[in-house]
Amino acid sequence: MSTMLNLELPRLHAGQQRCIQEGRRFNVLCMGRRWGKSAFGLQRLITGALAGRSVAWMSPTYKMLREVWRSAKRLLRAVISAVNTQEKRIELMGGGVIDFWSLENPEAIRGRRYALLVIDEAAMVGELQEIWQLVLRPTLTDYRGGAWLLSTPKGRNFFWHCWSLGQEERDPEWRSWQMPTASNPFIAPEEIQAAQRELPELVFSQEYLAQFLDDASSVFRRVLPAATAQAQQAGQRGHNYVFGVDWARQGDFSVISVLDTTLHQQVALERFNQVDYEVQVGRLQGLYERFRPQLIIAEQNSIGVPLLEKLQRLGLPVQHRNDGDRWHDRTNEKLQRLGLPVQPFVTSNASKMQIIDALALAFERGDLQILNDPVQLAELQGFGMERLPSGLVRYGAPSGLHDDTVMALAIGYSGLGRPSAAGLVALI
């Protein structure tokens, strides 16, 4: 005769349910305070353990571990077969196991095998990158297990890096969300409003809005307040437009950023990779047909080869020379003969600094509005500066991430106020 056991698991609100539905193998959840992080993490682990799997909870410190350990024992008391208090291990009747670890001593975790990890307050874990890569990620290999990294943000550290991976399209195993406290319907709105009145703006932004705040090395400030532009499907009568184009190098994305110079707003954004060069040029031509820009500013350094191939397919005469910028200039001239009002942008450390500084000043002064695109926002917030031994400054994305949307936006913004390419015939 079978016995029916009823477990009262944590009740999930709509935002938490959405994360479960959209979840992938590696998940990064950046949330505001009192969003329900611990309840959500426990629900994920308990669900896995009830299915007979070995799962584990990770906390930055032993002290932070104790409360969730007590909650797990209380929730699972009807199905627990054994408890090891010293090792913080719960064994269930169906064979599932939940281990609880403090990451103060990550070496003790080596050799374990898990189907699921929950890393609590991941942004607070010291040396998270090393711990993840050398200790935690290998524990998931045997079962091809997954992970949830949960935290309130703490600047742009490795937790932010993982969150950025989840915003990009290049790795289908990663997914990330940004959930402010207000997305928890069980928290009274008046409490959030009171916190906003009482706390400094930066503290409230981080702790309740779940925003990754600017570091000292960050280039762009006030990015989120600028993300209010409305997308346009086509050019509007009486408005002028400029395109900024950053062509893909190997492993990067091609990006076309469309700016309405009349409104000083970004109104369209195309981002794609692993696309044939013919298709890339076709996308640019398609956007041109929709917006009829006065000017297309395309990065010249990487434009030569793909457009040369396009021109050859069209049967246009191309002189094969490889004499530096003059070779690329001829390539752009051929593109202009197609009717596209293209002007080249030659990327150097000096020219990059000039357009990035101008874009940063535009954000500071509120002179530009951009689309609320998650990939673009992540790239802008992560774009940093490095002081070289020579004393020069180098701008760019953190290692392993992209800055293609940043460059396309900056190149396009450099065209605001620039005269259009004279004497060019528009496409009919």
DSSP per-residue string spanning 100-164: EEETTSGGGGTT---SEEEETTGGGSTTHHHHIIIIIGGGGTTTT-EEEEEE---SSSHHHHHHH
Q: Which helix (H) or strand (E) holds 267?
A: strand 265-272
Q: Classify residue 235: in a domain, yes or no.
A: yes
Q: Which helix (H) or strand (E) holds 354?
A: helix 349-365
Cα 251 from Cα 212, distance rounded (Å) = 26
Full domain range(s) for residue 314: 225-413
Q: Please give the chain's pLDDT, 428 residues, in tens.
A: 344 566 777 789 999 999 999 999 999 999 999 999 999 999 999 999 999 999 999 999 888 899 999 999 999 999 999 999 999 999 999 899 999 999 999 999 999 999 999 999 999 898 899 999 999 999 999 999 999 999 999 888 899 999 999 997 678 999 999 999 999 999 999 999 998 888 767 778 888 999 987 654 568 888 889 999 999 999 999 999 999 998 876 667 889 999 999 999 999 999 988 677 777 778 888 899 999 999 999 887 655 445 534 533 443 333 333 333 333 444 445 445 556 778 888 888 888 888 988 898 899 889 999 999 988 998 898 887 765 555 566 778 776 678 899 999 999 999 986 544 333 322 22
Cα 149 from Cα 176, distance rounded (Å) = 9
Whether 103 contacts 117, CB under 8 Å: no
Pair (53, 163) in one structural domain:
yes
Helices 14-22 and 37-50 pack at an angle, to 10 degrees, of 50
User: For residue 182, what is the DSSP state?
Assistant: G
CATH number of domain containing 278:
3.30.420.240
Pair (336, 382) in one structural domain:
yes
Q: Domain end: 207, 234, 258, which one?
A: 207
Pair (83, 140) in one structural domain:
yes
Q: Classify residue 1: in a domain, yes or no.
A: no
Q: Domain end: 156, 177, 207, which one?
A: 207
Residue 304's contacts (CB-CB under 8 Å, 6 or more residues apart) are: 327, 328, 331
Neighbours of 421 (CB within 10 A): 17
Pair (274, 324) in one structural domain:
yes
Cα 99 from Cα 90, distance rounded (Å) = 7
Tokens 């997954």 identify what position? 146
